[in-house]
Chain A
Amino acid sequence: MNPTKFIIFISVLFLSRMQLTGQESAGNAHDFSLKDIHGKVVSLDQMLGKKLTVLVFWSTWEKDSGKFLSKFESDFRKYSDKGLSVIGVCSEEQNITDSKLQEIRDFVSVNKLSFYNLIDNNLQVFRLYDVEALPTTFLIDRYKKILFVLRGAPLVGTDRLFRTISAAFEPEEKKPEIRQITSESPEALRYSNFAELEFKRGKIDAAQKYAVQAIKLDSTFTQPLLLLARLSLEEKNYTELENNFRKLKKCPGDSNQVILLRYEYLIVQKKYNEAIEKLNSFISKNKNDSFSHALLGYAFGMEKNTGLSEQEFSIAAKLDSTDYRIPKLKAEVYNFNGKSKEANELLRRSRQLRKIAP
């Protein structure tokens, strides 16, 4: 790819991202020239940032202006050398007297604003941009396309605005959606926790009963569904397991545990090489997940790669010495390799951890 094409590609990527995150796209920014607070005339073209421009209309009479502008100042300091420009347009009133001008200068000085601050005498730019309330903020790209408009300083919109600015300079991976705590969920949560507790104690029937109760209250609750899937796996009821996997697909939230259960299922199906490949990739992103190391140790063990198997089990045990599943998996590997004495010792340890009487 030649450099020009690459730049176009990156710009398109950037623009598409911005448009997605922006609340509103409102055409192109109008050109204007205004005097800054020291009387120097500047135009939009002169002030436009290489990557992104914030155009914020403000006034000293607006109650949150100081706080709001200070946030832009903080971003301006962080990203100005990466291509962020901030333009404050003071739309104080129609006729700015000398004493009013001094008041505005004082406001800028008290709030330590180092970005452009312009005086919109006669409210011409205010009218040009069809502003009705202050503050009003526009995000403009390097091609003067308006990407985002925010009226006032609302709670969510302000958060979205500043996240959009930082995302332009510090792209981060989108975090998964988290289930909202609704008024129904505490009851489901309670049953789910009972189910987990009973499962830990080895009281499988009780665990199953509570998990089903939790799902009745909240059909997209990952934790009890995951528990039922685990029980199906342990009972070798693979039809039910597949059914539970299907239900889990509809659940929101962190899915690492679901992913690992799928890999465990691969191992049960003796698809060791596929499991090793997937687990290695999983571990590269989740280094501190003890059970994934144990599963990898198991898969290596079944492939007769004793060295790597021991290594992975050792990492797993170091990361979590309380998980009963780790010694249980290791015991199965030892049994497979004819080390029944060591395997029995590990099974005893596993039972102890799960609080089942020997």
Chain B
Amino acid sequence: MKYRFLVLLLVVFNHGYFAQDKEQTSCMSAKCHASMADVKYLHGPFAVKECNACHVPIKDQKHKFEEIKKPSDLCMNCHEPLQMKKVVHGPLKTGSCTACHSPHGSNQQFMLKKSQLSEMCMSCHKKEMFDRKNVHPPVMDGDCTVCHEPHSSDNEKLLVKAGNSLCYTCHTDFESGFANSKFIHKPASEKCTNCHDVHSSDFESMTLKETKELCYKCHAQIKQTVADAASKHSAVDEGKKCANCHSPHFSDVPKLLKKEPLDLCVSCHNDQLTTRNASLTNFSLLLQNNKDWHGPIQEKDCSGCHGVHGGKTDFRLLNKSYPNEFYTSYAKQKYELCFGCHQPTLAQDSITATLTNFRDGDKNLHFLHVNKRVKGRTCRACHETHASKREKHIREAVPFGKWQLPVNFEKNKDGGKCTPGCHAPKEYKRTLPHLD
């Protein structure tokens, strides 16, 4: 400190005492270096024309100076030595302060050599890193020091703060989201850079890869499901792809879904949709107008039957087999979907007192309708798979070619009756065997 004070005194004293003389004889007044002073920010010794504070003349040799081997040693004569942290910027480590700072002056604050901070940094760092389609706004703005310390830091890559805490200084809502949500995407909470390129990226949201490929990097099983799917869900391939349904950071719904499953599905299926193979129902309207819902819909989970990433069967993204006809010969494997939750014996045991309420005495009427070698009625002959206006989601009518075949089911305390288009009106009673 004492030494620096003496140097400073000498500079000030020397300048004051010999100022007039220097105007005429200093390096700046001479024809050679006058233009160097024509900048906005001048280095102190240069401003007071004390060139000798840094350039030491070689004795008896005119205009010859001692070589400056390590600029930083010279800088530290006046400037407080920087407190070096764990990670030191390359130029500073080698003592090359002049790699970034102009020693005489420049038009930039801190006497930086380039007008744009980013230009300054990119004179050493590869430009390609910052030059992709989507650029992080601080990078776009050329303000590298929003995230990086220019001299030294305790964090890797000279970061101002460690890990995600740096990102949270601007992306504050993500910090609170990660702290307060029920479900967290672990790679995201651990390190934003697991998925994002912090400088620039060719992909939306500055991800490291295209959304689907990025997700598949870890979720290989889903990749396989999508690849193997016999029927494709367009939401997987269109728009924001995985992010159409999943929040990649955090959520209050399991599987990081953006909404509860049914609400999420209906947010797209809220209109008559036409796909390559089918015309899809407006579920918003259907569910609104038909209040008796199938169990999985009551539990707001379409994935009970449908493969949301792609169906294992080629019919309506269904995960298991379900006949796409009005009539079919009975085989258990044709109804795998229904028998995933409902008793398979429902269609196999001809006699029952407990399996179902649709029985005449102990005669199982499900068995009677479904379990036939020829023209067995499929579930859809009587039940709506999603919702209907009647209990047990029984249909009002079923499409039968061009005809809307009526079902006319009426329930009573001990059974019910049907007056369908299929057969003559029939009644059933559970308590007494009914013979007709």
Contact B254 A155 (CB under 8 A): yes
Seen from chain A, the residues whose Cβ lies within 8 Å of a Cβ on chain B are: 59, 61-63, 91, 93-94, 122-124, 126-127, 132-134, 150-152, 154-159, 175-182, 186, 189, 192-194, 196-197, 200, 222-223, 253-254, 257, 322, 355, 357
Bound Cα distance from A132 to B355, whole angstroms: 9
Q: A126 touches which one: B109, B177, B354 (CB < 8 A)?
A: B354
Contact A197 B301 (CB under 8 A): no
Bound Cα distance from A272 to B189, whole angstroms: 38
Bound Cα distance from A193 to B146, whole angstroms: 13
- A253 with B176: in contact, given A150-B299, A197-B146 (CB under 8 Å)? yes
Bound Cα distance from A182 to B295, whole angstroms: 28
Closest Cβ neighbor of B356 among chain A residues:
A132
| Interface-side segment among B223-231, B257-265, B278-286 | B257-265
Least CB distance, A131 to chain B, in whole angstroms: 10
Q: Does B179 lie at the interface of the complex (its beta carbon under 8 Å from any beta carbon of A)?
A: yes
Closest Cβ neighbor of A256 among chain B residues:
B176
Contact B173 A180 (CB under 8 A): no
Contact B295 A133 (CB under 8 A): yes
Residue among B160, B295, B344 with max Cβ neighbours from chain A (10 Å): B295
Bound Cα distance from A159 to B254, whole angstroms: 7
Bound Cα distance from A61 to B341, whole angstroms: 9
Contact A175 B182 (CB under 8 A): yes
Least CB distance, A328 to chain B, in whole angstroms: 17
Bound Cα distance from A200 to B160, whole angstroms: 14
Residue among A124, A133, A192 with max Cβ neighbours from chain B (10 Å): A133
Q: How many A-B residue pairs have CB under 8 A?
A: 121
Contact A94 B345 (CB under 8 A): yes
Residues on A with beta carbons closer than 8 Å to the beta carbon of B289 = none
Q: B341 touches which one: A133, A156, A178, A200 (CB < 8 A)?
A: A133
Contact A157 B300 (CB under 8 A): yes
Contact A193 B296 (CB under 8 A): no
Residues on A with beta carbons closer than 8 Å to the beta carbon of B355 = 94, 123
Contact A132 B146 (CB under 8 A): no
Contact B137 A193 (CB under 8 A): yes
Least CB distance, B368 to chain A, in whole angstroms: 16
Bound Cα distance from A127 to B430, whole angstroms: 13
Other A-B pairs beyond A180-B247, A223-B173, A322-B161, 14, CB < 8 Å: A123-B355, A126-B354, A127-B354, A132-B295, A150-B299, A152-B296, A154-B303, A175-B182, A180-B259, A181-B249, A189-B173, A192-B173, A196-B172, A254-B180
Bound Cα distance from A158 to B261, whole angstroms: 13
- A175 with B180: in contact, given A94-B354, A123-B354 (CB under 8 Å)? yes
Q: Does B427 lie at the interface of the complex (its beta carbon under 8 Å from any beta carbon of A)?
A: no
Contact A151 B298 (CB under 8 A): yes
What are 24 inter-chain pairs, A to B, with CB distance below 8 A? Answer: A59-B343, A62-B341, A127-B353, A151-B298, A151-B299, A152-B296, A152-B304, A154-B296, A154-B299, A154-B301, A159-B182, A178-B181, A180-B252, A181-B249, A194-B137, A196-B172, A197-B141, A200-B146, A253-B173, A253-B176, A253-B180, A254-B179, A257-B172, A322-B169
